[in-house]
Structure 1
Amino acid sequence: MKILSIRFLLAALFSSSFCIAQTPLINTPSVSPDGKQLAFNFQGDIWTSTIDGQNVKRLTVHEAHDTNPMWSHDGASIAFESDRYGNSDIYMVSANGGLPKRITYHSTNDYITDYTKDDTIIFQTRRDFAQVEREYEIHSVSDQGGTPSRLMNSLGFDAKLSPNGKFIAFVKGYCRITREAYRGSANRDIWLYNIAKDSYMQLTTYDGNDFYPHWGDDATIYFQSSQSGKYNIHKLKIDANGQKVGQIEAVTSFKDMGIFSFSVSANGKDMAMVQGDKLFVLNASSNTPKEVKLNIGSDYRFDPIEHKTYTNQIEEVALSPNGKQTALVIRGELFLRSTDKDVKKTVNVSKSAYRDRMPTWLNDSTLVFVSDRDGQNDLYLLKSDDPKESDLLKTLKYKVVRLTSAKEGESDPIISPNGKSIVYKRGKGQLIVSKIDANGKLSNETVLLDGWDTPGGVSWSPDSKWLAYSLSDLDFNDEVYIHKADNSQKPVNISMHPKADRSPIWSADGKKLVFTSNRNNGDYDVWFTWLNKSDWEKTPQDW
C-alpha cells in the first residue's frame, strides 16, 4: 500500500507572538528563598523574573519541554524537569543561566517535588513497582548527581521535607487532579511521615482532592484543595508530634476559576500561584493575592510557520461510494486524495482553525463531517461551490453548510448504504436516525436510544433497514445489538456474553454479523453470528 504524503502549513500559535505578552500562559511558578524572584515555565522553557514581573529572562532554550522549576536554598541554582532524552529527568541550571546539568538518568519519568536545604532533591518516580501499583515511589538524590535511593516505603506524590527535617508531607490517592469537582474514594489526601518513628498519619479526610503540600514553617502546611468549591490554597496546623490541630483554613478564595498550581518560598511566607492566564503573588501575613503582570518580549522560539509532510498519523479514513476518492483526517483538517496510486494530488478541503473530523460521504461529491466551528460539535456538509465542477478533488471553490444546531453536540455521523438516511450521536447517550436528501437537509428525526451509555461501533445493514452497535449494561459489559432503523422494533442483544463484545460489522449479504470479543482467554478475536435461524441450521452441504 502506497504511503500517503501530505503537506500543509501549521501556525505555531504560542511561539509566533513576536510582541510583549501581558498575560502569557505560564505554569509552575516558584518563589526564590529571599522572596525577590520568580522562576516559571513558559513556552516549554524555564524563565525568571523579579517578584513584580520585571526583568524577565529565559534560562533554557531547548526543543524539549522544560518545566517545574525549584530554587536551591541559597538561590544560586534552579532544578527542573525536562524530557530531553525522551522521558522526564531532573536537571540543574544556574539561576543566572548556563548549560544545564542532568541529575537523573533512568528510563522512567522522574518528577521533582522538593529541593531541601541540605542540597537533596526529592522526586517521585515509578522504578520498582510500576507493574504493581498506580501511585509513585518517593526517591531522593544529591543535586550533584549520583545514585538515587528510596526515601520512604510508602507510595505517594508531592513529597516535601519539613524545615526541621522531622516530617515529610506527601499525598496518597490517584484521582486526576484535573477533576476539580471529583468526590469519591480515589481522592487525594495529605499524609505525614514521621521520620524518627517511621510512622504515617493522615492529615486530611476531605472526599475531594487535597494535594501539592508546602511547608510554611515546622507547624504549618499549605496545600491545594477544592474544599471551598474551586481549587484554592488552604492550610493546616500540626503540633510537635505531627498531630493535626485546629481546623483547616482557606487562604485564597477564588470563585470563578480555581488555581492551576502554586508554590511557597523557602522563607515560608511568599507564595506564587497561577489561575488561568493570571499570575498572583501573596505574602502569608496579608492573605491578599496581588496580580503580577509579566512583560515577556521574546523572539520566535521556533519558526512561526512550519511545513510538514505526513506519511503516517492519519486519524480517520472514509472511502467515497464509487471508491475513487478517500477523505482523510489529519490534525483536525480534512483532506481528499484519489485512490488511484498514480495520482499524487492531495487537497485540504477544510482549511480552518477548527477541528474538522468524522467524515462520511453523502454521495460521490458531498461530504458530511463534524466540526466545532460554531462553538460545539455539529454536523456540516461540504460540497463544491463551482456550478461547473462538482468533483471535490478538482474544484477550487468549496461551500460548507451547517446541518444541525441542537443544544447538545453531534458526533459519529454515518450515511446509510442507500444514501437516504443518516445515523449520529447527540450528547452522551442519544442515538438518532434522520432522513437526509441530496442537499443534506435532515428530516424525520428518530431517537433510537437515550441512555447513560454512548453506543459504539455503529454500522448500517446492507439494506439500510437495520443498525448494529455495542452498548454497556449496568455491569459495564459491552454487548452487541441490532436495532430497526425506524425504531419499529426493540433492540435485540445478539451476543449475550459476560465478556466484552464490540465493533459489529455486517456481511455483504446481511446474513451474518461479525464482531470482536475477548471471551476466549481475555484476548480479542473476531467472532460472527448468523442472524437467521434457517442459515444457522444449514450444514456445509446445504450451502
Structure 2
Amino acid sequence: MLKRKTAQLAIAALLSVCGSVARAEEHPEALWLRYPAISPDGGRIAFSYAGQIWTVAALGGKASPLTGSPWHATHPVWSPDGQSIAFAADRHGQDDVFIAPAGGGAIARLTYHSANDRPMSFTPDGKEVVFSSARLGDPKADATNAVYGLSGLYQRPYAVSAMGGRPRQLLPTTALNLTYGPDGRILYEDDPSIVENTWRKHHVSDASHDIWLYDPNTNHHEEITGYRGEDRDPIWSADGSQVYWLSERGGNFNVWRKGLDQSEPEQVTFHERWPVRFLSSASDGTLAYAWNGALWRLDPDAAEPVRITVTISQGSLYDTTSIRDVTGEVTQMAIAPGGREIAFVARGEIFATGWDSKVTRRITDTVAQERDPAFSADGRRLVYASEGSGSWDIYETSMNDGDEVDRFSAPVALNERALVKDDADLFAPAYDPEGKRIAYLRNRTELRVQDLQTGTSLIAQAGDRTYSYNDGDLALEWSPDGQARDGHVVTRYPLARWTKPSILLQNAGSYSDGSVFPMLYKKKGVGKIVGDRTPGTGTAVSDVPQLQAGLRYRVPELGFQLNDGTWFENSEIEPDILIHNDPNLVAEGRDPQLEAAVKAMLEQLK
C-alpha cells in the first residue's frame, strides 16, 4: 500500500508550468546576470545567465551565448591573451572545468573528478587553468571526509593544462578566488572551512573570509585584510601596487582598495541595500561587477560606475506550457490535519495534493520564492513565507468560509492575503491551535507572535537569545493548548511538551550536544538521569583541514550559556543514579546502565 501511494504521489507531482501569453518586447533587457568576468583588454564581459555562459561588449548591447542548454554553466574566466574562456558546467553531474574559444566553437573538458571543480584564473603564461576543488588528492582522505559529512569544505587550488591532462595541487592551503598579479604573486581569499551559507550577509565572526597575499618565490603568506566581517573577491590594480576587493566593512558589500604597504582601506563604490558581487578587472584596471541583478563597469580614474544594459535575443521553449516531474525537487512539506492532504515546496512554489488523489494544484505562482508552509487546525488556511515584495513576509491562502470542500487540491476558490509585512525577513510561520495567532521568526532569530484579529505583534523571545547557524535550522511549534508554559508562548523543544515518564541514559562519551541535552533535561526536571557523569563539552567547533589522511582536529569557536549564566562547557552533569558499565559485564552481554534505567522507569510507572 505504501509503495502504491508513493507512486501516486510521484505521478501527482507532474506539474504544468505555464508561460506568459503576453508578447514580450523584441529584445528585453536581461537581469540577474552572475559571475561577470571582464576580458584582459577590457573589451568584453563574460557572464552567466539562465544557466549559460554569454559574452557582451563592455559598453553593453546584445549578448552572444558561448554554451547551450540544458546543462548549467558558471564561473567564466578569461585566458591572459583573451582567446579562451574556461568555465564550470555540470554536464556530467558535478561541476567540471571546460574550456572554449572566446568567440565560440568546440568545447573541451579539462577535469574529471567527482568533486565540484570551478575555475578561478589562468596562470600568467596562459598554459594552465587554476581551479578550486574539495579533492584532497588521497582517496582515503576523501572517504574519511565523506563519513564525517565534511566533503566539500576544503577548497584548495589546483592547476590543469589548458590542453588537458592530470591536475596538480597549486597550494596545500585552502584558497578561493585566486588571481595572479603582474609580478607573479598571488592574491586569494582564505576559506575557514566551516558550514556556512556562501551568500549570507553581515556575517561578523572569526570564521569570516580575509584576503591574503602569497609569494611563490619565498612561499610566504601575508594577511592583507584583518576586518572581522567579510572580505572577498580580491583583484590586482593595473600596476600591481594595490588590491581591490569586496567588503562589508561599510555596511553592504562594496568595492574597496588599499596599497600592499598596509595603508588604510578606501571605499571605491557606494551602492546601497544590495550587495556588490563577482568583482573582476581588465589589464588596464577597468572593473566589472554585478549589483542588483545588472552588470556594472568602473573605468580607470572614473568617479562613478556605469550600469551596462544587456539584451538577450535567444528564444526559449521553456516559455510554453510544459510538464515537469518535481518529485526529486521537493524541499519542504506540511501535512494537513487528519492527513487528508499535503502542501509541499518545489522550485520555490507551493503545491497541494491529496494522498489518494492524482491531482496536484499549484497554490502560488510568483517569480519570487515561497517556503515554510503550515496548515491551520481546521485545514482551511495555509500560511507561508514569500519573497514577493522584495523581502521575506508572511502570507496566507485560504478557502471561502461557505465552501463545503475542504481541500486545497480540489477545484475551490482560493484567496491570498499578506498577514505580516516588515522590512526585516520573516520566516517559519505557525498557527496557534485556535488559528487566531501566528508565531514566526523575524530575521531568523527573534521569535514573535502576531494576533490576526487585532494586528498587534509582541516579542516572545529576543533575537539575542537564539543563535541560527544555518538558514532554516530553527522550527516553531505551539504547545497543545496554545498557552504560555515555563514562560514561553511557543516552544521549539520536545522538553517543554513531553508529559510522560522518561529516563535519560548518559555516559562518559556524551559530549558536545550529547552533554547539552542532559543539562537541559535536568534543568527542566523532565526525569531522572542514569549512567556516568558527562565531560561537559558544550561548545561549537570547526574542523581544521587534515594534516594527513585520517588525521584531523577541531577548534572550539562558540560557547553556550543557560539563562542563569551557567556555561555548558566544563559543567559536568551528575546523574541521579550513578552507574558505571563494568567491562566484564558488558563482555557477558549485559548493560548495567540500561538495567538500572529500566528498573527506575518501572518504579515511576507503579
Same fold (TM over 0.5): yes
**1:493 to 1:382, Cα distance in 2 relative to 1, 3 A:** farther
Q: 1:82–1:318: structure 2 CA closer, same or farther, 3 Å change rule?
A: same
2:62 and 2:313 in contact (8 A); partners too: no
Does structure 2 retain, via aligned residues, the 8 Å contact 1:362–1:368? no
1:272 Cα deviation (Å)? Answer: 1.2
3-state SS of 2:76 partner: strand
Q: Give the match's secondary structure for 2:263.
A: strand
- Residues 351-390 of structure 1: pairs in structure 2 closer than 5 A: 351-353=364-366, 355=370, 358-363=373-378, 366-372=380-386, 375=389, 377-378=393-394, 380=396, 382-384=398-400, 389-390=404-405
Local SS of the residue matching 1:84: strand
Which residue does 2:264 correspond to in 1? 247
Residue 450 (structure 1) aligns with: 461
Q: 1:300 Cα shift?
A: 0.9
Three-state SS of the structure 2 residue aligned to 1:24 is coil
Output the CA distance in 2 between the equivalents of 1:180 and 1:465. 35
Matches within 5 A, 1:499-518: 499=514
TM-aligned CA deviation for residue 412 of structure 1: 4.3
**In 2, distance between residues paired with 1:75 and 1:373?**
40
Pick aligned residue for 2:95 from 84, 88, 91: 88
State the Cα distance separating 1:361 from its structure 2 match.
Answer: 4.8
Partner Cα separation in structure 2 for residue 201 and residue 396 of structure 1: 65
2:323 partner SS: strand
Gaps of 5+ in 2: 468-473, 507-512, 519-525, 528-532, 538-599
Deviation larger for 392-401 or 135-144: 392-401
User: Could you say what secondary structure the match of 1:480 adopts?
Assistant: helix
1:295 equivalent in alignment to 2:317: no
Alignment of 1:197 with 2:218, yes or no, is yes
8 Å CA contact 2:477–2:490 kept in 1: the answer is no
Partner of 1:262: 279
CA distance in structure 2 between the partners assigned to 1:394 and 1:99 by the alignment: 48
Of 202, 208, 212, which aligns to 1:181? 202
Is 1:396 the counterpart of 2:404? The answer is: no
> Which position in structure 1 is the counterpart of 2:324?
308
SS at match of 1:183: coil
Separation of aligned partners in 2, 1:496 and 1:466: 29
Check if 1:127 corresponds to 2:135: yes
1:221 aligned residue: 243
Aligned match of 1:530: none
> Is 1:346 the counterpart of 2:359 in the alignment?
yes
Task: Give, as a single letter, the amino acid of the residue that structure 2 aligns with 1:192.
Answer: L
Q: Per-residue deviation at 1:107? A: 0.9
**CA contact under 8 A between 2:476 and 2:490: conserved in structure 1?**
no
Q: Secondary structure at the match of 2:265?
A: strand
| Matching of residue 112 in structure 1 with residue 100 in structure 2 | no
Does 2:39 align with 1:32? Answer: yes
Partner of residue 276, structure 1: 292
Is the contact made by 2:19 and 2:320 (CA closer than 8 Å) also made in structure 1? yes
Change (3 A) 1:185 1:272: same
Residue ranges of structure 1 left out of the alignment (5+ in a row): 239-243, 435-440, 485-491, 503-511, 514-518, 523-533
Aligned-residue identity in percent: 20
Q: Give distance in 1, aligned partners of 2:247 and 2:35.
A: 16
Matches of 2:160 and 2:409, distance apart in 1: 62
SS at match of 2:91: coil
Using structure 1 for the length normalisation, give the TM-score.
Answer: 0.74
Q: Give distance in 1, aligned partners of 2:315 and 2:105.
A: 19
Q: CA deviation at 1:381?
A: 5.7
CA separation of 1:374 and 1:122: change in aligned 2, threshold 3 A? closer
Maintained 8 Å contact 1:29/1:40: yes
Q: Is the 8 A contact 1:212 1:223 kept in 2?
A: yes
The residue that corresponds to 1:506 in the other structure is: none
Judge conservation of contact 1:231–1:258 (CA < 8 Å) in 2.
Answer: yes
Give the structure 2 partner of residue 65 of structure 1: 72
Separation in 1 of the partners of 2:254 and 2:58? 21
1:518-537 matched pairs, under 5 angstroms: 537=603
Q: Is the CA contact 1:327–1:359 (under 8 Å) kept in the aligned structure 2? A: no
Instruction: Tell me the amino acid that sits aligned with residue 370 of structure 1.
Output: Y
Tell me by how many angstroms 1:248 deviates.
2.8
Q: Which amino acid aligns with 1:396?
A: P
Cα distance in 1 for partners of 2:274, 2:476 equals 37
Note the C-alpha offset of 1:196: 1.4
Distance 1:177 1:268, change over 3 A: farther
Shift of 1:164: 2.3
Higher strand share: 1
Task: Kindly indicate which of the two structures has a greater share of residues assigned to helix.
Answer: 2
**Corresponding residue number in structure 2 for 1:482:** 497
**Letter in structure 2 aligned against 1:450:** Q
What's 2:231 paired with?
210
Question: Which residue is 1:137 aligned to?
Answer: 156
Matched, 1:237 2:259: yes
Identify the residue that residue 564 of structure 2 maps to in structure 1.
Answer: none
CA distance in 1, matches of 2:439, 2:322: 35
Matched, 1:154 2:167: no
- Alpha-carbon distance between aligned partners in 2 of 1:277 and 1:403, rounded to the nearest angstrom: 26
**Corresponding position of 1:170:** 188
Q: 2: CA distance between counterparts of 1:349 and 1:401?
A: 13
Q: Is the 1:471–1:481 Cα contact (8 Å) retained in structure 2? A: no
- State whether structure 2 residue 293 is matched by structure 1 residue 286: no
Structure 1 residue 270: deviation in Å? Answer: 2.0
Task: Give me the whole-angstrom Cα distance separating, in 2, the residues matched to 1:237 and 1:446.
Answer: 50
* Equivalent residue, structure 2, for 1:509: none
SS at match of 1:363: coil
After superposition, the Cα gap between the structure-2 partners of 1:140 and 1:495, relative to the gap in structure 1 and judged at 3 Å, is same
**CA contact 1:479–1:496 (8 Å) conserved in 2:** no
Given the superposition, is the C-alpha separation of residues 311 and 109 from structure 1 closer, same or farther in structure 2, using an over 3 Å criterion?
Answer: closer
Could you tell me how far apart the structure 2 residues matched to 1:194 and 1:373 are? 45
* Aligned positions, number: 479
The offset of 1:60, in angstroms, is 0.8
One-letter identity of the residue aligned with 1:68: H
Partner deviation per Cα, 1:102-149 (whole Å, 9 max, x = no partner): 111111111211113312211111111663794421211111111111
Letter in 1 for 2:311: N
TM-score w.r.t. length of structure 2: 0.67
